[in-house]
Amino acid sequence: MSRRALAGLGAALAAGGCRGNFSALAPAAEQASHINWVFWFFTLVCAAVYVATIAALVYALRRFRGNDASREPVTERLMGWWVAGGIGTSIVLLFALLVASIGTGRALAHRPTDQPLTIKVTAQQWWWDVEYQSPQPSEQFRTANEIHLPVGVPVRIVLASRDVIHSFWVPSLHGKKDAIPGHESDVWITATRTGTFRGQCGEFCGHQHASMSLLVHVQPRDRFEAWAAAQRASARESAGDDQRRGQEVFLRAQCVMCHTVRGTSAGSRFGPDLTHVGARQTLAAATLPLTDETLRRWIVDPQGVKPGNRMPPARLPEQDIDALVAYLRSLQ
């Protein structure tokens, strides 16, 4: 690759990394802004130190090249001053980095309210169970792989794991936080702008670690409330013949062994809650966009889409699959 092509690639990577919905350098929450600030502070200080060191090296190489007897000798005293200056500057800069780092840690640990919106996210191989918690049982609901947050509101995300160590990571909103079996931890997110941000499991957790993504939709408060109200409701009644037939298939086939559709007899918590699956944008932990075609592929051959996941293929007649897809898509 030519030097120009290399420079172009570097610039494109840098520009791509600084923008988009999956970048710690394009913060969309107070916490991510703190991390972004400390990143640039460290980068600039280290860059300045590097430039100063190289400049001093170049100066020394030029000034003392060869064995020129006419040149004034360097005294012990002068060398002592240079070394002392270097050590002093290093101590001051390292302290500045330490203070910035501790300050950022404190800012991230800040809990702005006693009664936050609390969302419990349980990681498992290889998807995210999402439970909106509330002291009122009627206010609670579950969903999966897509989290909605109101903008400007501090939200507490409680992290747990059902199997191995995973890591919850939505770079636009916060840094990584491990989800550890048998130990709950939490992160606070106060989103500062609306948008859809991508998250990714940040800790190697097995075969489909790379396909363990999630979406976070940050919405204006009223739209978030409307979404939450719709999510709290039981699944809507199946309207068309196809959908009714699809519901029958769903309840009679293996689906009920793992999934919940509130308002029906399906109530297993092993797999994702499908009560409002039709309202999601993606499928299989943000692996595929949700369309009739991808949903069909997923039901018929989940192991082909995401090898190693826990979902078995549905061996059903064509019409049953069609009806099942129509039913699931109707669960808005």
Binding site for ligand CUA (CB under 6 A): 123, 126, 166, 201, 203-205, 209, 212
Candidates 55, 18, 24; CA nearest to 202 is 24
CB-nearer residue toward ligand CUA: 91 or 210: 210
CB-nearer residue toward ligand CUA: 169 or 197: 169
CB-nearer residue toward ligand CUA: 123 or 311: 123
For residue 29, what is the DSSP state? B
Q: How far is the CB of 213 from ligand CUA (least distance, A)?
A: 10
CB-nearer residue toward ligand CUA: 185 or 192: 185
CB-nearer residue toward ligand CUA: 162 or 221: 162
**Side chain identity at 165, as an amino acid letter?**
I
- How far apart are the C-alpha atoms of 69 and 177, rounded to whole Å? 62
CB-nearer residue toward ligand CUA: 153 or 180: 180
Q: How far is the CB of 125 from ligand CUA (least distance, A)?
A: 7
Which parts of 10-168 are beta strand (E)?
A: 117-124, 127-133, 141-144, 146-150, 154-161, 166-168
Q: How far is the CB of 81 from ligand CUA (least distance, A)?
A: 53
Which strands form 195-200's sheet, in the order they lie side by side?
146-150, 213-219, 195-200
DSSP state string for 257-299: GT-B-BTBS-B--SS-B-TTGGG-SEETTTTEE--HHHHHHHH
CB 327 within 8 A of CB 275: no
Phi, psi angles (nearest 5°) of residue 118: -115, 130
CB-nearer residue toward ligand CUA: 192 or 282: 282
For residue 210, what is the DSSP state? G
Return contacts of 302-311, CB within 8 angstroms, 24+ apart: 306/126, 306/208, 306/211, 307/207, 307/208, 308/126, 308/206, 308/207, 308/208, 309/125, 309/126, 309/208, 309/284, 310/125, 310/258, 310/270, 310/271, 311/258, 311/271
In 64-192, where does DSSP find H-type helix? 76-109
CB proximity list for 284: less than 8 A, separation 6 or greater: 127, 211, 298, 302, 305, 306, 309
CB-nearer residue toward ligand CUA: 108 or 201: 201
Q: How far is the CB of 299 from ligand CUA (least distance, A)?
A: 23
CB-nearer residue toward ligand CUA: 201 or 326: 201
